[in-house]
Amino acid sequence: MTLQTWQSLCNKKYRLSLRLFLLLNAISALFSIALPLSHLRILTIPVCIIFAASLVLPVLHHYFPSRKINITLIALIFGCLWAWHVITKVRLINDNADAFLLIALLSILFIGTIAFSNNILAFLFHSLPVFVSCLWLSSGENEFRMIYSFALPVLGISIQHAIQKRNDHFAQALMNRLMQERKTLNDLSMLDPLTGLYNRRGLQHKLDNMLAVDDSPRYVLLLDIDHFKAYNDHYGHMMGDQALIRVSAALRNAVRSRDIVARFGGEEFMILLNNAEQEDARRTAERIRQQVYDLKIPHMFNESVATNVTVSIGIAPLLGNDIEASLSRADKALYEAKHMGRNNILVSEELQPA
């Protein structure tokens, strides 16, 4: 789960709560108009406003979903309107006013409990005006019942709110951890496990990011260890791995942090020099060639080149972000560099046309 899905989950909860609240208010308003609790059938202004607003707000919310309706504020406004309705109506009822007040309060508490089961603030803002009005208007006999009826959902919602907060906290911590682990796995999948350099996937990822940012001059260096098959055959695969690790470290040390070094597969490496002209590329290649040579990794079978491990390097400019074309040119230069006797550097521009 990402941060966006978490956010969309919260938005869904908000929408559900708002729609449920408006629906229950519309039904309650309709009931109080069509089937009033007392035999007194009057249409109060607040109940008409509640009914109309409960129908209009979902429509507005549907057409303007980006404009968030403040639930707490709406709850307070509706709560005040219900209190106004109760006060208006109770004054006109002669008998059974206490029963009307109790049932009116219970209806409001019902709406709040269902719609705001985990939003204690909205619940309080919605039900407090009616609760205070009912307490004030009741004869005193029902006071305890009203306080009890009010306290019970407040307690329930508070507990539910606390549990929900803990669950949210836990879910968020879990999500952060999962995202962290996903990032670590993603990073690992971009690295070559033997040398710690970027693999092809990591290289592609870095290239995509880098090429999108600016179009400064760049050069591609393609490197290959000379006679590595012979090295492996005579010194063994384990020693071959050690040689690859040491050469990789030398490559990384020879370039700047802004350059990309990748193991292209086997004993082949690629370096992308950022912000570099041909002379810089040649100088860097020469430095790399020398540093690998200076590692003095014994290689008695580096046929007639040296008695230690050496590399050949092909260089090509990166033109118009076309990495494949650059690699192909660098590969041709590398092939020629090998052909010239290995432990050599060749720039693609110096190649004789075939």
Ligand X SMILES: Nc1nc2c(ncn2[C@@H]2O[C@H](COP(=O)(O)OP(=O)(O)OP(=O)(O)O)[C@@H](O)[C@H]2O)c(=O)[nH]1
Residues that bind ligand X (CB under 6 A): 194, 224-230, 232, 237, 240-241, 244, 266-267, 338, 342
Closer Cβ to ligand X, 85 or 338, answer by number:
338
**Distance in angstroms (rounded) separating the CA atoms of residues 14 and 209:** 37
As measured in angstroms, the least distance from the Cβ of 269 to ligand X is 11
**Distance in angstroms (rounded) separating the CA atoms of residues 78 and 72:** 10
What Rg, from alpha-carbon coordinates, does the chain have?
Answer: 38
As measured in angstroms, the least distance from the Cβ of 235 to ligand X is 9
In the bound state, the residue with its beta carbon closest to ligand X is 240
Phi-psi region of 342 (alpha: psi -120 to 50; beta: other; left: phi over 0): left
Closer Cβ to ligand X, 259 or 267, answer by number:
267
Phi, psi (rounded to 5 degrees) for 266: 55, -125
Per-residue burial over 245-257, b if 16 or more Cβ lie within 10 Å, else e, is eebbebbeebbee
Tell me whether strands 260-265 and 219-225 are parallel, antiparallel or unpaired: unpaired
Marked catalytic residue, from 267, 277, 336, 350: 267
Residues 6+ apart with CB under 8 A from 140: none
181 is catalytic: no
Structure-token match 């993603």, residue found: 186
* Contact of 257 with 219, CB cutoff 8 Å: no
User: Helix %, strand %, coil % for the chain, to 5?
Assistant: 65, 10, 25
Largest CA distance in the chain: 117
Catalytically annotated residues: 267
